Amino acid sequence: MSKQAIATVVLAAGQGTRMKSKLPKVLHPLAGRSMLAQLLATVDALGSERRIVVVSPDNADAIGAAVPGLETAVQDPPLGTGHAVMATRENLAGFAGDVLVLFADSPLVSVETLAAMLAARGSNSDPAVVVMGFRPANTAEYARLIVDESGNLARIVEHRDASEAERQTDLCNSGFMAIDGAILSDLLNGIGTDNAKGEYYLTEIIEIANGMGRTCAVIEAGEIEAYGINSRDQLAQAEAVIQHRLRHEAMAAGVTLQDPDSVFFS
């Protein structure tokens, strides 16, 4: 694993309208605690020294009450993933370690995968950015990770912008990144808004880093680790995944579960 200090930025400013709930999406429960708390527990197990959660004016109070003492940054207005990370500039001022960027509504990523991303960041090749990629059964609508002949990450292309040749690759973008904190500000400065939505996309930092003479890398993980929760149906599916993991952990530790599917952990 990288020996650098670790700061984790968790993007949690989304509205979550498809949940049809007054409760902020990232506070909906999974195995007895919120999806945000599930992800933060993973981050803590990784050994991250800093946890910065990017919130919106609409959910800041609720998230602050649910997780007391949490370090936050407010994104207002919401202008894309790059803009969300820009909101942490003051928090990360002077920080030169590794910066993990995660999503609060994707809480199934494992400690092992995050550790692998950081190990790649700290490797001799010294990539500026490491992205977690995955190969879904259905690639429709996912951004593609385009690698060069050396296996380095050249760029990230949105599905709608990808050529037919680029769409043939099944290596897709999870959105999770491990970034060299020493140049994060420079990378963010290079992001523009020349796109259909007029937003700042964090994915642009790959080409920016390459243009600076640095390389970028990909670590692959299973599709379930990139699973995003945007509806109650997806929340239920994520609950099933976590319960399956908890049952197997219990049995591996010597607990007998005669009918595992009837046991629920909280």
User: Which sequence positions are flagged as catalytic?
Assistant: 18
Residue indicated by tokens 């003051």: 90
Q: Where are the alpha helices (DSSP H) in the chain?
A: 35-46, 60-66, 81-86, 111-121, 164-167, 184-189, 205-211, 232-252
Three-state SS at 217: strand
For 18, the 3-state DSSP assignment is helix
Cross-strand partners of 155: 146
User: CB neighbours (10 Å) of residue 189?
Assistant: 10
Identify the H or E element spanning 147.
strand 144-147
Residue 175's H or E segment, with its range, is strand 172-180
